[in-house]
A and B are shown apart, each in its own frame.
Chain A
């Protein structure tokens, strides 16, 4: 959307009518960008098997039954539900929203046909079309070397590729439902071990009603030969999404996991409360990268996804977990991917870019809990705020009394665009060991007119100039993403900030 006359066709919101008008003015472009609908704002009419609205023990049991789960799982869910009923929603975050009515949500929705496809021809053509419009056609994905895709469509996995290659290495990559059935010993041992069912309000809710998600196990000493990725979509009006992800890296193994999502635009708020648990056993490494692009709401702040996510990883001896996230979507983001550095010499990293525009609110950051000796953590957080949005970094660095020689470096940078947005930093540091070494740096800057003019003078228009400046600002984090994801993320940053300076 940069050079005005060239990209007009792509920007045109007028129902596919192509407009090529040489007298196209900047004013018109601005207007068009404002009215531009959410890039992925469409939804398909796949018949769904949807439960009635509301939540009680019967619903929890029904979900578990529907998924043909063993009794221990049903009981686990029920215990979580019992805990949830006694909990209240957290209110400490710097976000303001109308609380969802949890009895007005349907807690289960699955695409009707639940087949095991042998070939693409058997897949519902409408579903395939959706994938194509998202630019993630399975066909292409299959060809994309090194990427296996487990697509979660409305809570139930409908397609898994590259499974065979992975199986040869002993890697298990499947839906969590399948894992519960096929690998109960692994699931039973690790589910809830990092994020206990009653950890917090949303985690408890998720534990009671999670519909599906991904499961991954890398055996001892195995280096996963490809990036594992999951694409999430929200597709049913009024259906909450309660994904559950469990990644286990056994001793000395390595895995890079990509999670990316786009969602169709809807009027009513959609609740998303996922739980992701990572277990990194001795000397293993997990890289978990996310590009999050849920519908952020329109420019009046109407609609948009509420994203309340609990992500946490446990590092045993010498293990390493890196969280990298690019957050551009959601009306509300409440998310703190964390690392429990339990083992000696373990390493936790958090690299984040959070973009808020219009009326979006994000309260995101991390927790680094140093328990083992010589543990190290790095936090690089980049917040970009535009429009009337509010962007908060909230982070906790905790060094326990036994954690000799713990090291932390935190850097929180905020970039402001315009005069109506806000950037906030809430760093919490708790140190109980004198040998700890903690560094915290924070900067706030504003995209200056001088920077824009400088770019303009070199022939770079304002939209492109902003994209360039934002990419430069975010570079340290973008560089942490796997290549194909970095490109997608860069594109997302540009889309998210379009029309925000004018």
Chain B
């Protein structure tokens, strides 16, 4: 599904990613861990197509297609979803209205008609129940005055609504209390299938107790320095990141 080869990316001439390679197949869950400033979030933004990052070398293939000249919205239409670490506020635009617009724009890109209102309502009801979201919440302005937990839950709600092929969750666990974390994790687990894939970007092991990854990668200084299975996450929890920083790159 996703093939990243020797990816180098810079922002304002400062190289942040220094050769990342990663392959994600349908049905897989990958966790990307690493200390602050290692390039985790940059990797997420680059996959989503944020313009301020310049790819200087390497490539990102999504379902065999090079994403280099594909705009962020087209990537979204193709099924790439990013759950933001810091979701932005859009005053006056309700969650429902935002989702309606997003879904219909994707449908339009695929040559489909707008989703009929009754279908939309059904979908909203179904997904909000799954994530234990009060529907009053959906008429509030997008992320405005939301608590940290509400913002993250809202991101997962959007993911549920859009049903992406590849979901990248950037520090979705940060700022969540244990109950919210469980709800979010349950949501992600329910949405998982053999056809879609998830990349979890996280600082801590905690989330991985709820969403079991198939692979764990450790990123440091713009490179993946170690890959393994879920046991690697436990090892990291125990030893911290310092031992990896010292280890020579394999």
Contact residues of A with B, CB < 8 Å?
2-3, 6, 26, 448-451, 453-462, 464, 468-469, 471-476
Contacts and interface: CB of A to CB of B under 8 A. Distances in A.
A3 B142 CA distance: 23
Contacts of A450: 88
Nearest to B93: A472
Interface in B74-107: 75-77, 81-82, 84, 87-88, 90-93, 97-98, 101-103, 105-106
B48 interface: yes
A473 B92 contact: yes
Given A468-B98, A471-B92, A474-B92, A456 B109 contact: no
B76 A472 contact: no
Contacts of B103: 459
A472 B72 contact: no
B76 A459 contact: yes
Contact of B72 (A456, A473, A475): A456
A459 B93 contact: no
B244 interface: no
A476 to B, nearest CB: 7
A419 to B, nearest CB: 17
A6 B107 CA distance: 12
Given A454-B87, A459-B77, A460-B73, A475 B92 contact: yes
B147 interface: no
Given A451-B90, A454-B87, A456-B71, A464 B141 contact: no
Interface string B138-175: 00011000000000000000100010000000000000
14 contacts: A3-B105, A3-B109, A26-B71, A451-B88, A453-B50, A455-B73, A455-B102, A456-B76, A457-B76, A458-B158, A468-B101, A469-B93, A471-B93, A472-B92
Contacts of B162: 458-459
B245 interface: no
B108 A460 contact: no
Interface in B175-194: none
A3 B111 CA distance: 11
B82 A457 contact: yes
Interface residues on chain B, size class: 20 to 34
The 5 tightest CB contacts between A and B, nearest first, are A472-B92, A472-B93, A459-B76, A456-B72, A458-B102
A43 B118 CA distance: 43
A460 B48 contact: no
A458 B92 contact: no
Contacts of B88: 448, 450-451, 454
A454 B82 CA distance: 9
A471 B98 CA distance: 11
Nearest to A3: B108
Contacts of A458: 76, 98, 102, 105, 158, 162
Interface string B93-134: 100011001110110110000000000000000000000000
Given A457-B49, A457-B73, A472-B92, 6 more contacts: A3-B108, A449-B52, A456-B76, A458-B105, A458-B162, A459-B103
A358 B22 CA distance: 46
Nearest to B108: A3
A6 B102 contact: no
Contact of A473 (B48, B51, B91): B91
Contacts of B98: 458, 468
Interface in B9-53: 48-52
B172 to A, nearest CB: 14
A33 B163 CA distance: 33
A458 B75 CA distance: 9
Given A448-B88, A471-B92, A472-B141, A460 B102 contact: yes
Q: Which of A454, A458, A469, A476 has the most CB of B within 10 A?
A: A458
B137 to A, nearest CB: 17
Contact of A459 (B51, B84, B97, B106): B106
Nearest to A2: B105
A454 B84 contact: yes
Contacts of A2: 105, 108
A476 B91 CA distance: 11
Contacts of B75: 457
Contacts of B48: 457
